[in-house]
Each structure stands twice: as structure tokens, then as C-alpha cells.
């Protein structure tokens, strides 16, 4: 039996929609000839443990850890297209968020303030923000302090609670929170956007055969037009998917290298 996990945008209010989306995907995959699919999504594993599993038939990861740590352990199935402000086709960006009460209106004014970020291996919360701030750093420094929160919603909470002054929030996460948990955004506002990158890819373990990879892609196409799944896709802001060029995610490493070349290898 294989496993599947869709943890990246699995907010508590969206668990039913995420489960329905997987059920529809599994039906489509079976229609394409895939067998031994799990009836339920795996929850409870760390993301890195999930992505390391050789029996992972379908999941979703972030482009930065994909390229840094998992490119030899995962295959990209497709890149989702999200109906969220900030997305362009199969690409997304992050919003730079501050407190409403803050006097800050532009990125340069963030110098010397406190940053909240979700994790150092995040494209949206760390690498993309580093790319934005690198040209403004002086002697490798820009912020005065930083806290690692473990998640975008926790970073937003740190801003609201005055434990941090700003954070970079994945625009899809932001749109989902705005729709399903808007109270979590009260007292905050957006002042800027980071450079874009391909959205968080659907993936499968490297052990998946090329024939089964083709079946996954065909099944995904079916699920994306299945009328009974329209409500789940709409709740999750899923508008489609694209199969990008093999080197599409190299941009995240380019962003990292360019920041390092400017002497800004770490946010703090």
C-alpha cells in the first residue's frame, strides 16, 4: 500500500475539502490503472519524513527543499495553478506583511526591525524574502532579530502580538486564511511582494515508475475537470495544473546564489 499526503495548505477548516480532493484524485488515479492507493491521506508525519518515504505516491512539497534536499528523492507530477491574488499561472509569490499600526510603508523601512519566518527551508517565508532584502543589506545584515515560528499563521500571530514586525507570507496561504480564517489577519496589512517562483509542486517518490507518473498526470487532469470536485477545488483555490520544464525550479537556487553573492546568505 502506498501513502499520500497534502500537508502544505491543509488548514484545519480545509481538512474536509482536502480529504475530498484526495478521494477524487484517487478515483481518477484508479481509473488510469493505479492500484494500492490509500483511502485516506497521511497526517502526523513531519513534512520531511513524508517526502522521504519511498512509498509516497502523491504529495506536495515546497520548491526550495525540493531543489536543496529532495531532488534525488522525488519526481514532480505537476505544478498547481491557484486562483489567489499574487499568483500568475503556475507561479506564486509572498506578501510582506506588517501590523496595521506600524508606520512602515515600504521594504527599505524594515531595516533594523524584527522578522518572523516559518522555516529556513521555506521558499515563501525565507528564500524569496532573502532575495528581496539582499540588495538592501549592509555588511550582510538587514533585520535586528528574527524568530522561527514553524508556520505562516504563526508568523502572522507573531506580528499581531508584537513579537515581530514583519514576515513574508505565501500568497496562497494568505488567500486561504483570508477566506477561511480572516480573523487571523485582523490588524495586519501588506506592504510589498517578493520575487515569484513556481508554485508548490505535486510530487511522487523517485521509485514511482515513468508509466505510473504518466498515470498520475492523466488522473490529475481528470480530477481537475470532475464536476463533483468543483466545491473542493474552489475551497482550496485550485484552478488547474501545469507540467513545467524540468529546470523550472532552478530559479529558487538562483535566488539563493544571488543573495549570497551580495553577502546576504542568511536573513539574520
Tell me, yes or no, if the pTM score tops 0.95. Answer: yes
C-alpha cell at 246: 524540468
Residues contacting 258, CB < 8 A, separation 6+ = 131, 134
140-176: pLDDT as tens digits: 999 999 999 999 999 999 999 999 999 999 999 999 9
Residue span(s) of the chain under CATH 3.40.190.10 come to 91-197
31-69: pLDDT as tens digits: 999 999 999 999 999 999 999 999 999 999 999 999 999
Architecture label for domain 91-197: 3-Layer(aba) Sandwich (3.40)
SS3 191: strand
SS3 124: helix
User: Which percentage of the chain shows pLDDT scores above 90?
Assistant: 99
**What integer pLDDT is reported at residue 254 of this predicted model?**
98
Q: Are strands 3-5 and 56-60 parallel, antiparallel or unpaired?
A: parallel
φ/ψ (deg, to 5) at 224: -70, -15
> Cα separation of 210 and 60, whole Å?
18
Residue span(s) of the chain under CATH 3.40.190.180 come to 3-82+198-253
SS3 43: coil
Where do runs of H (alpha helix) occur along the chain? Answer: 15-31, 47-51, 63-65, 128-133, 152-160, 171-180, 210-223, 230-235, 250-261
Cα angle 219, 92, 69 (rounded to 5 degrees) comes to 75
Q: Tell me the CATH number of domain 3-82+198-253, given options 3.30.479.30, 3.40.50.300, 3.40.1260.10, 3.40.190.180.
A: 3.40.190.180
Amino acid at each position: 500500500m502506498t501513502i499520500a499526503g497534502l500537508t502544505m495548505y491543509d488548514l484545519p477548516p480545509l481538512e474536509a475539502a482536502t480529504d475530498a480532493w484526495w478521494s477524487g484524485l484517487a478515483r481518477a488515479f484508479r481509473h488510469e490503472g493505479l492500484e494500492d492507493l490509500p483511502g485516506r491521506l497521511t497526517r502526523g508525519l513531519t513534512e520531511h519524513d513524508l517526502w522521504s518515504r519511498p512509498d509516497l505516491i502523491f504529495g506536495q512539497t515546497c520548491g526550495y527543499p525540493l531543489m536543496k534536499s529532495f531532488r534525488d528523492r522525488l519526481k514532480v507530477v505537476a505544478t498547481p495553478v491557484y486562483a489567489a491574488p499574487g499568483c500568475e499561472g503556475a507561479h506564486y509569490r509572498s506578501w510582506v506583511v506588517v501590523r496595521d499600526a506600524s508606520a512602515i510603508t515600504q521594504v527599505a523601512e524594515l531595516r533594523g526591525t524584527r522578522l518572523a519566518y516559518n522555516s529556513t527551508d521555506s521558499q515563501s517565508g525565507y528564500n524569496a524574502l532573502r532575495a528581496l532584502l539582499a540588495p538592501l543589506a549592509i555588511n550582510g545584515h538587514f533585520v535586528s532579530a528574527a524568530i522561527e515560528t514553524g508556520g505562516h499563521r504563526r508568523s502572522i500571530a507573531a506580528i499581531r502580538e508584537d513579537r515581530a514586525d514583519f514576515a513574508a507570507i505565501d500568497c496562497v496561504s494568505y488567500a486561504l486564511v483570508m477566506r477561511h480564517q480572516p480573523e487571523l489577519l485582523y490588524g495586519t496589512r501588506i506592504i510589498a511582494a517578493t520575487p515569484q517562483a513556481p508554485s508548490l509542486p505535486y510530487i511522487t517518490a523517485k521509485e514511482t515508475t515513468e508509466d505510473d507518473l504518466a498515470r498520475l498526470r492523466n488522473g490529475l487532469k481528470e480530477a481537475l475537470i470532475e464536476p463533483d470536485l468543483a466545491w473542493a477545488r474552489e475551497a482550496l483555490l485550485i484552478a488547474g495544473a501545469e507540467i513545467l520544464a524540468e529546470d523550472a525550479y532552478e530559479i529558487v537556487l538562483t535566488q539563493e546564489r544571488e543573495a549570497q553573492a551580495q553577502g546576504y546568505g542568511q536573513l539574520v
